[in-house]
Structure 1
Amino acid sequence: MQGERRSGLTRRRFFGQTGRWGAASVIAAAAERVGRPHLIDVAAAQTPKRGGTLRFGLPNEPLTLSGTMTGGDQGLGIVMSALYDTLCVTDYTTNTAKPGLALSWTPKDARTWVVKLRQGVQFHRGYGELTAEDAVFTINTTIEKKHTGAFAWSSVQAAEVVDRHTFVIHLTQPYQPLSLTALGSVGGNVICKKAFEDLGREKFERNPVGAGPFEFKEWKEGSEIVLTRFDKYWQPGLPYLDRLEFKIVKDHFVRQNLLKTGGLDVIFTLQYKDVEDMRRTPGVAVHSVPGQTFDFIAFNPKDPVVGNRLVRQAVAHAINRNAIVSEVYYGQAVPTNIPAPKGFVGHTGKVWYPYGGDVAKARQLLAEAGHPEGVSFPVIVSDKLQLRRELEIISGQLARAGIRIEIQGLDLGTFNARFFGPDVTKKNFRSALRDIAIVSPDPDSTVYWFHHKGTLGWVGLDEPQIDKLLDEARAEASTDKRDQLYKRFFDVIVPEATYIYTVHANYVSASRTVVRNWEQLPTSIARYTAIWLDR
């Protein structure tokens, strides 16, 4: 893998290249279609136009383009749905799974699921039909070789071929979120077995072969990734576009100005403070939807200061979440006490810690904890601009309650190494602020990997009741019963406050108004199949 990569375009280079990149173009809204699966009704109200190139501003260069390496790679998350189709497709309007490459997925028993594939789906570059052998190879390789997408298959032992278009999945424990979290979302990409074996892992990661609507053409490191329409795509008549160009532009100022001047057609990570300015820009549409995300502060429960639950509860009470919504996210977020957004099974409007904060209660809890004069401790945070700003605001709020924090800013790689670590004994932080893009619209994705003992995000709170509730909810088939289990779970973990949740932030993108059918989804992926250019 490559080391640190240079930014694709700086502010200085931007002003010299804007004219060369062109000054028109691309994207209108379809806000009413947010969350619709990408199985498209071609007979739409407007007749789509075929052809054209969509230029997309990437804030981060992918580390890889392999569909099995999806963990934590924001750049790949934006590109991969053009290269790969998933076994299931998430309908974000209902938070349910729909057929994609898989036509059906049926439990044979509590630990065995049978998956039947769509026939005739072709891989790129003449690699032939996608079969059960490819799907099984993808799943087993991801798990056995510990690719970064393996977390989505955490309850899967292995997959096994039944016939050319059927395979079974063997589970280590009953797992109801299988269709949303594993078969859909980041786990459901299917790579071509023959291409992977022909090229080897390293070459495949730079020259991927999938079965999505666009196929790989070239990757100019530090500059752009180019994909072209796949003429043998299994959905007749799609996609409409001829070409996708993902321009790597890490500087948000440059990225936003390229959109304004027509050098880019879509940008995915619009700065929250610039939303209203961009709305006023002629030829630009802004798309903002409630995000399946959460911001939080995590604490080491073994720490001599924040290991005290009363201290953590004091922090939770001292935070003014409403101020974070207005001052960090400029109204593009909602305050929360839990990680499950509205619309998720288990979501509750219950408020344990007032959204406007309660400084008096925080001081009372500190006194009960034996710290009437206050406490101090460090908090690590990555280099994401809005998180740095959020922690600065929280620092001021906590100070009013006698809680002093030392902000320790780290680059994202160093932060992740210290926060996650190979296991809980290797984690190196006392407290940490970060955000999470939820993997799938199932409550299991918001809590299991963070609160269950032994998981990647577990901070060390050893409470058997927590594991029991999580395992029961993961296995329960009844939606109503799962809803009650997660509500009981939140009644346990929110007062523990090893994770203090602050907001659910919106996903905000912007586009040129000539682009049709851009879907701003409530998560960190994009869909390109139905996009067309109205010019």
Structure 2
Amino acid sequence: MKHQLKSFLAATATAALLASGVSAQETPKAGGTLVVALTGTPRVLNPAVQSGIVTGLPGAQLFAAPLRYDEGWNPQPYLAKSWEVSEDGLNVTLHLQEDATFHDGEPIKSSDIAFSVKIIQQYHPFKSMFAPVTSVDTPDEHTAILNLAHPHPALMLAMSGQLMSIIPEHIYGDGQDPKNHPRNNEDVVGSGPFKLVEFKPGEHVIMERYDGYWEDGLPYLDRIVARIIPDSSSRTIALENGELHLSTFEAEPTLVNRMMKADGISVSGEGYGGIGPIDWLAMNTTRGPLKDVRVRQAIAYAIDKNFIHKAVLRGTAKDALTGVHPDSPLYNANVNAYDLDLDKANALLDEAGFPMEGGKRFDITMELVPFPGYKPQTEYIKQALSKVGINVTIESVPDFPSWAKLMGTMDFDMTLDSVYNWGDPVIGVNRTYMSSNIAKGVWSNTQGYSNARVDELLDLAAQENDQEKRKALYAEFQEIVNEEVPIYYLNAVPMHTFYSNKVGNPPIGGIWSTSSPMDRVWLKE
């Protein structure tokens, strides 16, 4: 027997507005051009073969996913109007919107779902999120049945946001390489609420409403112009001048606080739980003093996170105690916070066999991440650890590829890093801790961390459909890694949305920010 999930579009206009985050007191207005900021140039506009927030904004407008997620982490209908999950968790059946079409007018069929799954499995950077899918049955044009080798609770989240973009088989099934397909950036044929007008790398992505969109009256906007503005100060000036309506993934504390005081601008830190970004101090557990868990714990006790949060991040970030983002329903806040305790840090270092001699215990290196904003934290950590006799040498890395090579080959002692959860731990958390991922590339288990119980817990949680049991498994996992400190968690990255008060229903009510469709965003004037 199958369990029907809540899966129908809101029956009334009021319910639809509430589901989308629009106040019942506001009446959406159709028309207008929304001008948004992109922090960089997308490599491609096709999210089926490319991850990242720069691809996510245009990609989620041009291509539809089967599901949406609301702010309560509940799946909602989108391209799939309803769905069922079998009792054994081995089949997920999607019922598609009957009148959905691609931007060239061709109907979106169940065969396109099957094709998109195959492409994601082969080419997406997070291909493992669909690894348990063994086949997709298409009994009719509007029914797709995903068959799984084992229960896969991450699948529902993986079918939302930019993670599962439905692409047309009649375009991408022509034998050309999907990652470098000529239709990824030009003459894009999408499945979402907006269609491509023009993509000029370094300048803009222009999209206009698709009149064949299956939801009546949507999208509200006539056009979205995504201006490519890498410089954060330039983005804020453009917002203050009225040249921009919206900018997302803004994390510079000075600018966040500045925009909180700007007239006609609102600032929100909501809507990033699915992205799940965390700043942390990564420690190579395979070499030198860091092989000893007592040394890693001492480092945690020697760092004053309150100083980082207040002095460096200026009150814009929330704490993070584990590798699961604090907005996630799977987050375990009941773990050791490692409050500043220099006496405990010194005792642990003594116990580990590193006595203080001439004001120093040992030398260690710390790579300076070649991104803006990391230098103050890096310099502070160097100073903080000197108080317990750890002499840190900061090594500057010239560029991102050089830093990535150090990470991928585990040729480092410590470094700051920012890693995203991407919704479900199976997608963005497990990769960091599984011993099977050691030394297999960038942003995998670059700490060389290995714990048999952690491997077991992550394997079990990846196949547990009972939410409470799954939460308990991840709670134990978080307790272990918090105690063994392969990573010291600093804070959730303080991502914020800056938006003009002219914007109705800004993208802050879900979990994917602008990596989800903006078909219900509108302009008040």
TM-score after normalising by structure 2 = 0.86
| Alignment check: 8 A CA contact 2:18 2:24 kept | no
* 1:141 positional shift: 1.6
Residue 334 of structure 1 aligns to a residue whose secondary structure is coil
Partners of 1:42 and 1:304 in 2: how far apart? Answer: 55
- Secondary structure of 1:148's aligned partner: coil
Q: 1:162 to 1:403 in 2, by over 3 A?
A: farther
User: Where does residue 497 of structure 1 map in the other structure?
Assistant: 485
Pick closer, same or farther for the CA change 1:522–1:231 going to 2, 3 Å.
same
Q: Which amino acid aligns with 2:279?
A: D
SS in 1 for 2:40: coil
Q: In structure 1, give the amino acid aligned to 2:136.
A: A
Aligned counterpart for 2:67 among listed residues 88, 104, 123: 88
Query: How far 1:381 moved relative to its partner?
Result: 4.2
User: How much does 1:199 deviate?
Assistant: 9.2
Per the alignment, residue 516 of structure 1 pairs with: 504
2-structure distance, mates of 1:370, 1:467: 29
* Match in the other structure for 2:429: 447
Q: 1:351 to 1:142 in 2, by over 3 A?
A: closer
- Following TM superposition, by how much is the alpha carbon of 1:468 offset from its aligned partner in structure 2, in angstroms? 0.9
Give the deviation of 1:38 after TM superposition. 9.9
Cα contact 2:133–2:146 (8 A) shared by 1? yes
> Counterparts in 2 of 1:367-516, with a 5 A limit?
367-373=350-356, 374-410=361-397, 411-419=399-407, 421=408, 426-440=409-423, 442-445=424-427, 447-455=429-437, 457-459=444-446, 460-516=448-504
Give the one of 130, 136, 143 matched to 2:108: 130
What are the Cα deviations for residues 131-157 of structure 1, in whole angstroms up to 9, with x where unaligned? 11111111112213x332414324334
* Cα displacement string for residues 487-522 of structure 1 (whole angstroms, at most 9, x for unaligned residues): 211222211111221112332121222121112255
The answer on 1:532 being equivalent to 2:522 is: yes
TM score, norm. by length of structure 1: 0.85
| Deviation of the 1:409 alpha carbon | 4.0
Offset at 1:343? 5.0
Amino acid at match of 1:220: K
For 2:89 and 2:27, how far apart are their aligned partners in 1? 46
Further displaced range: 490-499 or 211-220: 490-499
CA displacement 1:459-505 (0-9 Å, x = unmatched):
33232211111111222222221222122112222111112211123
**Counterpart of 1:338?**
322
Q: Deviations over 1:107-128 (max 9, x none)?
A: 36343333332222111122x1
Does the Cα contact within 8 Å between 1:54 and 1:243 map onto a contact in 2?
A: yes
Aligned-pair CA distance for 1:446:
5.2
**Deviation for aligned residue 1:450:** 1.2
SS in 1 for 2:444: coil
**Shift of residue 186, structure 1, vs aligned partner:** 3.4
Q: Distance in 2 between matches of 1:41 and 1:288?
A: 15
Q: Post-superposition shift, 1:250?
A: 0.8
Query: 1:367 corresponds to which letter in structure 2?
Result: D
3-state SS of 2:324 partner? coil
Gaps of 5+ in 1: 1-35
Q: Distance in 1 between matches of 2:444 and 2:493?
A: 20
In structure 1, distance between residues paired with 2:296 and 2:38: 37
Mapped to 1, the partners of 2:418 and 2:206 lie a distance apart of 30
Label 1:417 to 1:121 Cα distance change in 2 as closer, same or farther (>3 A): farther
Contact 1:218 1:227 (8 Å CA) reproduced = yes
Secondary structure of the equivalent of 1:125? Answer: coil
Map 1:100-499 to 2 at 5 A.
100-102=78-80, 103-107=82-86, 109-126=88-105, 128-144=106-122, 146-180=123-157, 182-198=158-174, 200=176, 201=178, 202-207=181-186, 208-270=188-250, 271-289=252-270, 291=272, 292-342=276-326, 344-355=328-339, 357-373=340-356, 374-410=361-397, 411-419=399-407, 421=408, 426-440=409-423, 442-445=424-427, 447-455=429-437, 457-459=444-446, 460-499=448-487
Retained in 1: the 8 A contact 2:302–2:388? yes
2: CA distance, partners of 1:59 / 1:347: 29
Do the aligned partners of residues 415 and 130 (structure 1) sit closer, same or farther apart at CA in structure 2, a change above 3 Å counting?
Answer: farther
Residues 26-105 of structure 1 mapped to structure 2, 5 A cutoff: 40=20, 44-71=24-51, 73-92=52-71, 94-102=72-80, 103-105=82-84
User: What is the root-mean-square deviation in Å for CA atoms of aligned residues?
Assistant: 2.5
**Whole-Å separation in 1 of the counterparts to 2:36 and 2:236:** 11
- Identity rate of aligned residues, in percent? 25
Q: Which residue of 1 aligns with 2:3?
A: none
> Is the 1:311–1:369 contact (alpha carbons within 8 Å) kept by the matching residues of 2?
yes
Counterpart-to-counterpart distance in 2, 1:383 and 1:469: 34
Contact 1:111 1:171 in 2 (8 A): yes
Contact map agreement 1:112 1:171 (CA 8 A) in 2: yes
Does the CA-based 8 Å contact 2:161-2:512 persist in structure 1?
no
| Structure 1: distance between partners of 2:195 and 2:313 | 36
Aligned residues: 488
**Any conservation in 2 of the 1:288–1:509 contact (CA below 8 Å)?**
yes
Q: How far has the Cα of 1:41 moved from its partner?
A: 8.6
Question: What are the superposed Cα offsets for residues 293-349 of structure 1, whole Å, 9 maximum, x if unpaired?
Answer: 211122222112322222111111112111221123221212232122445344333
How far did 1:248 drift? Answer: 0.8
Separation in structure 2 between the aligned mates of residue 396 and residue 42 of structure 1, nearest angstrom: 48
Query: For residues 405-431 of structure 1, what are the alpha-carbon distances to aligned partners after superposition, in whole Å with 9 as ceiling and x for unaligned?
Result: 233344334433443x3xxxx443332
Aligned residues of 2:366 and 2:413 also touching (Cα < 8 A) = yes
Relative to structure 1, the CA distance from residue 60 to residue 414 in structure 2 (aligned partners, 3 Å threshold; closer, same or farther) is farther
CA distance in structure 2 between the partners assigned to 1:273 and 1:298 by the alignment: 25
* Cα contact 2:335–2:482 (8 A) shared by 1: no
1:346–1:485 Cα contact (<8 Å) kept = no
8 A contact 2:21–2:505 mirrored in 1 = no
Alpha-carbon shift at residue 37 of structure 1 (Å): 9.9
List per-residue Cα deviations over 1:171-196 (Å, max 9, x = no partner).
3432112101x212333211111122
Which SS does the other structure have where 2:290 is aligned? coil
CA displacement, residues 35-56 of structure 1 (integer Å, 9 cap, x when unaligned): x999649994322222211111
> What residue number does 2:10 align with?
none
